[in-house]
Amino acid sequence: MKNQYIYSKGSIISSTMKSICTLLLCLIVSTNSVSSSNDIEQKSYEELFAISKNSYLANDWRNCIKFMKAALSSYDHYEDIVKECRNKCDHLTESTAVSTGFSSLLTYENSMNFYETLINGTYCMMKCKRQKLGSYQNSHPDPEIVKNFETRLTYDYLQSCYYKVNETKNAADAAFTNLEMNPESEVMRDNLNFYFEKNPKLKYDELVNLETKNFVKSFRDGVDAYEKEDFDSVIRYFELGILEYIDAWKTCRLSCEKPFDMGWFPDFMTSVANHFTYCVRCKRQCLIKLANLDGEFHHDIFPLMFHYLQFAYYKNNDIRKSAECIESYMTLYDSKQMISNKEYYQELDEFKKSGNEAWFTPRDNVREYFEIIKRENDLINSIEDRFKFEEDSKESKVPEPPISNKMEL
């Protein structure tokens, strides 16, 4: 293995080698100036990232690790707060404006109510972020720094620094976390293979995705319980996994309500429409993001939980719950197997005695999930159809999740 694999940012080092000598003292001072945990807590994730990056360039591997981990924690905290505020303020409507202290300014014209709601929501967001984040966080973070977190370039720095202090397990976990987001990265894959060569005790199935979602663990635990025929645990894990998946989906959608560089300066109406469309496209990508289970893609993961549940409830003699899970699954996916299962349940004595077809009713959260996805899918298709002009050149499209009227296996 050549060093170029480990130093995936070798170009950064080589291009700045001459300047490091003159900046080294400054970098060390700036790094050492933030030593106590209290000082770290007062720094924004942008500042912590910059300190870690400077430590990396100065070959100060321990501080590179220390401040990058702090930056990741600070970024997660910032994102949680912003999404919490968005969730709160997105529900601010004209009917709640008075109760929350937002008096109407534009009651003289009904057509302005929509924009007044946006203004109220903006004020709500600013107030919420100030209350929860304080003044030390930059309200307009550098897009390039944000991109480092979103693409997990942060873990590229971490894996390099961990390797330099001979912590190959941590280096492998950091590389694996980056690779999960960037599966096409041959350099990171080579890095991971190199760590296995350096440390024979490492096992692939023991690698930890440091950014894994809660529902992924619940899903895996549920599958393990299913294989052991522990159906009580199957029900417990998958019921939890469903709630965690819905929460992750909603959180992902909230993260899409972010700045958007259009690359040009459209008029007011076009600007609003473009930004709205950008957000809808981003929200639809959440299905693809959540289909990634530590590098393995399962586009049917959400309905698959109901597949496991319907059988587990059947084994526990709870036909009503099993019927509910079957209908929930079939709301999302067409499946001949599930149709056969439904017909089988309808022939059971317990179902015949009840005479209640309402047992086969999808859950409310499944209906809401499906209707939102279908509505946004129809909207994007309509936009793409209506905004086609002969003079337009062909543009590459962003991959869309596999959803039409229903997901198809």
8-state DSSP, 135 = T
Are residues 209 and 296 in contact, defined by beta-carbon separation less than 8 angstroms?
no
* pLDDT, position 315: 94
Of the candidates 76, 63, 56, the residue with the CA atom closest to the CA atom of residue 10: 56
CA 327, CA 20: separation in Å to the nearest integer? Answer: 63
* pLDDT, position 297: 86
Amino acid at 89: C
* pLDDT, position 136: 55
In terms of DSSP bridges, do strands 407-408 and 292-293 run parallel, antiparallel, or are they unpaired?
unpaired
Q: What residues pair up with 333 in beta bridges, in sequence order?
A: 407
* pLDDT, position 140: 73
Are residues 123 and 146 in contact, defined by beta-carbon separation less than 8 angstroms?
no
Are residues 61 and 52 in contact, defined by beta-carbon separation less than 8 angstroms?
no
Are residues 132 and 85 in contact, defined by beta-carbon separation less than 8 angstroms?
yes
pLDDT in tens, the chain (409 residues): 434 334 344 333 333 333 333 334 344 444 444 455 667 878 899 999 999 999 999 999 999 999 999 999 999 999 999 999 998 888 765 455 444 555 555 455 666 777 888 888 889 988 898 888 876 566 678 889 999 999 999 999 999 999 999 999 999 999 999 999 999 999 999 999 999 999 999 999 899 999 999 999 999 999 999 999 999 999 999 999 999 999 999 999 999 988 877 777 888 888 888 999 999 999 999 999 999 888 888 889 999 999 999 999 999 999 899 999 999 999 998 888 888 888 888 888 777 766 667 788 999 999 999 999 999 999 999 998 888 765 555 544 544 444 434 443 3
The C-alpha R_g of the chain, in whole angstroms, comes to: 25
- Which tokens belong to 196? 């296995």
Question: What sign results for the dihedral spanned by CA atoms 66, 67, 70, 71?
Answer: negative
CA 188, CA 103: separation in Å to the nearest integer? Answer: 54
Q: Tokens 């959400």 — which residue?
A: 302
User: Where exactly are the structural domains of the chain?
Assistant: 1-211, 215-364
Of the candidates 176, 199, 198, 201, the residue with the CA atom closest to the CA atom of residue 189: 176
Are residues 151 and 181 in contact, defined by beta-carbon separation less than 8 angstroms?
yes
CA distances to 144, 155, 183 from 140, in Å: 12, 23, 30
